[in-house]
Amino acid sequence: MINIDLKGCIMSTKVLTAHVPLPLAEKIDLLAARLERSRGWIVKQALTAWVDQEEERRSLTLEALGDVDAGRVIDHQAVQAWAASLGTDAPLALPQ
For the stretch 4-63, pLDDT in tens is 666 777 878 899 999 999 999 999 999 999 999 999 999 999 999 999 999 999 999 999
pLDDT at 5: 67
With beta carbons less than 8 A apart as the criterion, state whether 43 and 28 touch: yes
Give the ranges where 1-96 is alpha helix by DSSP (H).
22-35, 39-69, 76-85
pLDDT at 1: 64
pLDDT at 12: 85
pLDDT band of 71, cuts 50, 70, 90:
very high
**Cα–Cα distance for residue pair 54/62, rounded to 1 Å:** 12
pLDDT at 2: 64
pLDDT higher than 80, residue 81: yes
Separation in Å, CA 31 to CA 5, 44, 72:
22, 13, 45
